[in-house]
Structure 1
Amino acid sequence: MSKLNPFFSVVIPLHNKANFIEACVESVLQQDFKNFELIIVDDGSTDDSIEKINNFKDNRVVLEQQQNKGAAYARNRGVEIATSHWIAFLDADDFWKENHLSEFYKAVQLFPDEVVFSSKPSIIKEHNKTTTAQYSFELDSKMKPLSYFENSTKHSLLITSGMLIKKDFFKQIGGFNEAIYSGQDTDLFIRIGLQKKIVFNPKSTFTYYVSSENNISKTPRFKERLTFINAYQHQAEKNPALQKYLDLNRFSIVLRAKMHGDSTWKVAQQELNENSLSKKQLFLLKLPGGLLKVLKSIQQKLLQFGVEKSAF
């Protein structure tokens, strides 16, 4: 491997993930594809995350430290430091299987003109139950370019920890929006989907946690999420697939905001087009927050017994 010319630059934003970061970094260093650099951007951690990083003695590991400015800033900073044309993101509480980068390398060789790649995740949910992503399209064994919005109505084609993107294209579309605290990944995915297809690998090459400590996705900032979703409405008027994608995100905001007692649900419900929803979703849309909480509790109980149900 040439230290000066890695094929991949791996970017990990880190903030107080001491209980996860060792397994995360080890999953990168144990890749069967070795030609990479690993850039860890510590975003003002106050636990012993840095101490655990310093225990790794590998010249591919680069540690950048900054004051707490948020995950979007940390990811963008990692891309600025990166010396490769290809950026693979990984969150500090997720981990890769050993073939993650080698599968991306194969994909890049097969589709040299494409700039965004992803693979199927394994998902660790509540009670440490592991499932695989379920999609709205039929899976086969072949990698192929897919339209983002049409194929992300059940589970997103893109997950940050399982995404590879060409550095020039990432910078061209503006990177992660640092003004968005929660939902910055969805905002980036929309901008990607408006311009490019995603080369999707149906093999499961990484694992991510739906719920972990200090997970900002659990932070209820519904008004902020609705605002950036609505920013793309003018483009959705001539793009039915984008319209449905935005409405499904509004639907999710309605349900979650109701359960949190946040009045943003009223605005979100007024703004979504109900023609985008299934009969089951329309039924859920009419339920009060208290009943939604009961159904959510039942869903979690079923998950403990290996039965997975969703609003889709």
Structure 2
Amino acid sequence: MPQPLVSVIIPTYNSEKYLAEAITSALSQSYHNIEVIVVDDGSTDNSLTIAKSFESKKVKVFSQQNKGAGCARNKGLSQATGNYIQYLDSDDRLSPDKIAMQLAVLEKNEGKIAVCSTIHFNGDSLTPANIPSPYEDSFLYDDDDPVHFLTDLLGGYREHGSMIAIHAWLIPKEIIDKAGPWNEELTIDDDGEYFCRIILGSKGILKTPGISYYRKYQDPDKIVAYKQNKEKLFKSALKAVLLKRDYLRSRTNNQYAQRAIHRQLMQLAVLFYIDQPALYQQVEKELKHYPAYKFKPVLGGRAINFISGLFGWKVSKILQYYYAKMLRK
């Protein structure tokens, strides 16, 4: 039997420092029947040149005007010929056995998707001492019920939910096709909205060995872009949550699913309060459709969270606002 082809899709924008490392981690997989598709999203640094230095029968490179990561991933999907899709951001990495481990179980479990643990590390500080987060790992398990898995991930069964890095997944192409393309209108939480569709479109989730490495670092360009486009980003965050609500509601509207969406909305309420009053009012309107589930936001350090526990998160947010304003003087 021929080995299935895995397409590794890498969108990149001004990632010259780490792009070669990401591509190399894809090419260094112990499973060899892969193609790497790099889509440069209008970079102004040397990212495209670096990508082209890897160009070969195994590595395809495309470029486009700057339209966002979702659009770049859709471009990669349109060029992919693999039976499975592996997403990989240009500053992240995969362990050499990641794809092999996941493919081994997916080939025996039609219609399912695979997920692995993620190690978070700062900048260039990845060492053998870095391990996956036990908290995040508690949300990763075999589950034949995608609705249950997603509800848990969004916080329906616990005090808090979790996140999964996009490159932790390996997904059969037929599930990708059924879920539809990345929503190019979303500029934040586009991955949360997309993988909500992917999870619900599967027959279950399989937790496998192998590691995805998620690099955390302060990117000055991203910080500036966030400050300049804050309202647009916040509108995207609200739209993504409302879409996730609709997807989950189409499958179930039990109390746990309602609690999960309530938690997502409450996170936005905390984010929008003071800073985005119009969006905050929209969230408050949505929250009226849900019971007042217990919600305990994490606002910062121990002191501010203690104040939040005593006087409520709104008081704490006001104190944070005026304290930050005082520091800027």
User: What TM-score does the superposition give when structure 2 sets the normalisation length?
Assistant: 0.74
RMSD: 3.4
Change (3 A) 1:267 1:41: same
User: What is the one-letter code of the residue matched to 1:262?
Assistant: Q
Find the counterpart in structure 1 of residue 198 from structure 2: 192
Are the counterparts in 2 of residues 44 and 67 from structure 1 also a CA contact under 8 Å?
yes
- The range that moved more, 206-215 or 287-296, is 287-296
Q: CA deviation at 1:136?
A: 7.4
Are 2:249 and 1:253 aligned? no
Change (3 A) 1:6 1:195: closer
Change (3 A) 1:162 1:279: closer
Instruction: Please give the per-residue CA displacement for 1:5-61, whole angstroms capped at 9, x wherever unaligned.
Output: 862000011111111111111111111111100000111111011122233365311
- Number of residue-to-residue matches in the alignment: 290
SS in 2 for 1:73: helix
User: What is the one-letter code of the residue matched to 2:117?
Assistant: K
Percent same amino acid among aligned pairs?
A: 22
Find the counterpart in structure 1 of residue 280 from structure 2: 265
Unpaired segments of 5 or more residues in structure 2? 299-307, 325-329
User: What is the one-letter code of the residue matched to 1:52?
Assistant: I
Report 1:213-252 matches (<5 A): 213=219, 214-215=221-222, 220=230, 221-233=233-245, 236=249, 238-252=253-267
Find the counterpart in structure 2 of residue 169 from structure 1: 175
The 1-side partners of 2:33 and 2:323 are apart by: 47
Are 2:150 and 1:149 aligned? yes
Report 1:91-102 matches (<5 A): 91-102=89-100
Find the counterpart in structure 1 of residue 303 from structure 2: none
User: What is the one-letter code of the residue matched to 2:20?
Assistant: E
Q: CA deviation at 1:87?
A: 0.6
Change (3 A) 1:6 1:107: closer
Find the counterpart in structure 1 of residue 34 from structure 2: 36
Are 2:132 and 1:132 aligned? yes
Q: CA deviation at 1:233?
A: 3.9
The 1-side partners of 2:98 and 2:125 are apart by: 22
User: What TM-score does the superposition give when structure 1 sets the normalisation length?
Assistant: 0.78
Report 1:273-292 matches (<5 A): 273=290, 275-279=292-296, 283=309, 285-289=313-317, 291=319
Find the counterpart in structure 1 of residue 185 from structure 2: 179
The 2-side partners of 1:182 and 1:91 are apart by: 15
The 2-side partners of 1:242 and 1:194 are apart by: 13
SS in 2 for 1:246: helix
Q: CA deviation at 1:143?
A: 4.9
Unpaired segments of 5 or more residues in structure 1? 297-312
The 1-side partners of 2:91 and 2:57 are apart by: 22
Instruction: Please give the per-residue CA displacement for 1:147-203, whole angstroms capped at 9, x wherever unaligned.
Output: 332331245464212222222221222221111121211111222343335423253
SS in 2 for 1:181: coil
Q: CA deviation at 1:244?
A: 2.7
